[in-house]
Structure 1
Amino acid sequence: MSKYLIVGLGNIGAEYAHTRHNIGFDVVDAFVQKHGGNFKVDRLAEIAEVRWKGRIFVCIKPTTYMNLSGKAFKYWMDKEKLTPENTLTIVDDLALPISKLRVRPSGSDAGHNGLKDIQLVLGTDKYPKLRFGIGNDYPKGMQADFVLGKWLSAELPVIQKKIEACVTIIEQIATIGLEKTMNQANNLMFE
């Protein structure tokens, strides 16, 4: 039976809930909810196990805060005896417009502290990522406020569509593989 570690990046605490930076948590929540799973608090993360079409998805939301995401990632990857190839990290991306998603088998942290820590702990950038475009529509010097801010109400319909697409992407990676999923997902446009 194939097993995957699905890692949604975000920060714990009500003040961070549903902010741009926590989109990884929101995607993992949507995936687990769709498949009838429940989160419980465990070591370094909230965790839910989902079984679907003969596959197991170990879904985590690290409780280490964004900048120490690698600790939770590595702990659960080792505990579940998985390789980096059988993981998927969902992360917000300033460099992508709000209309885009991008799936990659590897790649740099692009200045994202959560990815930076995972890369440091793993010693490689070769682990699959699902980058959720959040755009970069903020005044100079206001990046932190933007990233930690809530979605604008006008953005919410697009964000909801993208979250649903991310749930499908997680399923597709497990059924048709990363390569085919990338070809489809990276061409999607959301309006």
Structure 2
Amino acid sequence: MTKLLTREEFRRQFLDFEHTTWKLEIRDRYNVSGEREEFEYWLRTGDTSLEEKHARTSTWHRNVRRARDAGKLWQRVRVVSEPLSDYIRWEHAATRFNEEAGEDIRWLPRHHPVVGELPQHDFWLFDSRWVCVLHFDDDDVPHRYEVIDAPAAVARHCRWRDIAWRYAIPHREYAPDAPDRFST
């Protein structure tokens, strides 16, 4: 039986986790209404000042700061196509605000050989005990939050986390325009 979370239940997980939260992102675009203004402004101007202002007041950044102050880990890996889509270029430009709040974000170019070992879905892994798989509609809007807590499935997601984390490039070192780093 599939267990789904409401949007509010999903949001609450970021307050309730005990030690670690980890995310794998595999999409080149996300259509999240709360980001639209900052993204469109950045597309027009190349300026992240709206995102910077948002980072000072947003519930997300405040929760990350509180959790990090309590010793909890926030990590994520973004699997990205190169050249980067407009959306991912904006995320790259604005990632410093998430990192300043306390997230550790890394980048894994889609052409890296290890990406073939990873799943084709976004997920959050909470305390290495349960998974929330994110489902998106045809317009890249998240619309379902599926809970997975079967031990074998959780172990598989932990393995994917470990693979992605090992090969992903820390944000401060990731240069999207660098020549192919993985050629032999």
* TM-score with structure 1 setting the length: 0.32
Greater helix fraction, Structure 1 or Structure 2: 2
Larger RCO of the pair (alpha carbons < 8 Å, separation 6+) = 2
* TM-score with structure 2 setting the length: 0.33
**Which structure has the bigger radius of gyration?**
2
